[in-house]
């Protein structure tokens, strides 16, 4: 099968890959396919151009956007296909139910994890892609690990579950790890995780208290606060008000 045919098959299966095509300045029409695991097929007719194209493809397939890249005299189109991002929620609580609903409405795939099987049920979380009544290590294994498109929200207030999830998440490629709790609870968690051997550099990755400062009170408002922060992180934004922002409202590919 051609690089284009392989790319089409991956897209049809809701997979992740990038197809790089030479538009001008070289072997016009040549294609290089880069898969999520780094395996490539095809080629652009130049080894150095292939190497640079692979870097661009790996960057953009995880940024989940397609764009034209100018590399020397060559113009390349990097076409990306990717599944909807995952939001893994720890804690089968009311906040998790509201967050599932909002994540699904935003086009994300929410997963709910909680070892308490009496709470972690599909009846309570019908919008979840999957409900896993398992401990964090088992849940992450079932999900195939944590990649750069997996965002994690810890909502339980239970140190046994919170800390187990965070120890794994903070050592992973997850671009976002948020945790619910008061500032006092966050300080206590920080000390526990330090004692467990996590470095300050890793602990600084926790978005805590979780969410943007919207003055949220209800589970639905809290879910909005969390989802807003997650989307902002995914798009490389700070999450401030557009009315006081000087940057573009929407990013435009090069």
Which of the two residues, 53 and 252, has the higher pLDDT score? 53
- For the chain, domains (ranges, CATH) are 3-81 (no CATH), 86-234 (3.40.50.720)
- Quote the pTM value: 0.86
For range 202-207, the mean pLDDT? 94
38-90 pLDDT, tens digit each: 999 999 988 999 999 999 999 999 988 899 999 888 999 999 999 999 999 99
Which of the two residues, 241 and 249, has the higher pLDDT score? 241
Is the pLDDT assigned to residue 252 strictly greater than 60? no
pLDDT of 86 reads 95
pLDDT band at 254 (very low <50, low <70, confident <90, very high): very low
214-228 pLDDT, tens digit each: 999 999 999 999 999
Contacts (Cβ under 8 Å, ≥6 apart) of 143: 86, 88, 111, 132, 150
For range 187-203, the mean pLDDT? 93
CA distance 31 to 23: 10
Is the pLDDT assigned to residue 249 strictly greater than 80? no
Number of H helices, E strands in the chain: 8, 11
Query: For residue 236, is the peptide bond before it cis, meaning its omega torsion is within 30 degrees of 0?
Result: no
The residue written with tokens 């720890």 in the block is 90
């Amino acid at each position: 099968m051609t690089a284009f045919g392989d790319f089409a098959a991956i897209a049809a299966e809701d997979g992740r890959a990038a197809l790089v095509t030479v538009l001008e300045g070289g072997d016009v029409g040549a294609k290089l396919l880069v898969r999520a695991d780094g395996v490539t097929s095809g080629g652009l007719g130049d080894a150095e151009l292939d190497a640079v194209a692979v870097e661009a493809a790996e960057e953009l397939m995880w940024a989940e956007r397609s764009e034209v890249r100018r590399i020397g005299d060559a113009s390349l189109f990097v076409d990306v296909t990717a599944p909807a991002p995952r939001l893994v929620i720890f804690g089968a609580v009311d906040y998790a139910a509201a967050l599932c609903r909002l994540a699904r409405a935003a086009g994300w795939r929410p997963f709910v994890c909680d070892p308490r099987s009496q709470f972690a049920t599909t009846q309570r979380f019908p919008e979840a892609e999957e409900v896993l009544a398992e401990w964090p290590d088992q849940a992450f294994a079932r999900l195939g690990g944590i990649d750069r498109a997996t965002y994690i929200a810890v909502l339980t207030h239970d140190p046994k579950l919170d800390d187990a999830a965070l120890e794994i998440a903070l050592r992973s490629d997850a671009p976002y790890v948020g945790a619910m709790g008061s500032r006092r609870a966050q300080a206590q968690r920080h000390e526990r995780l330090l004692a467990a051997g996590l470095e300050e550099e890793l602990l600084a990755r926790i978005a805590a208290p979780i969410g943007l400062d919207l003055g949220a009170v209800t589970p639905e408002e809290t879910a909005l606060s969390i989802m807003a922060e997650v989307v902002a992180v995914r798009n490389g934004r700070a999450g401030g008000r557009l009315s006081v922002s000087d940057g573009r409202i929407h990013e435009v590919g090069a």
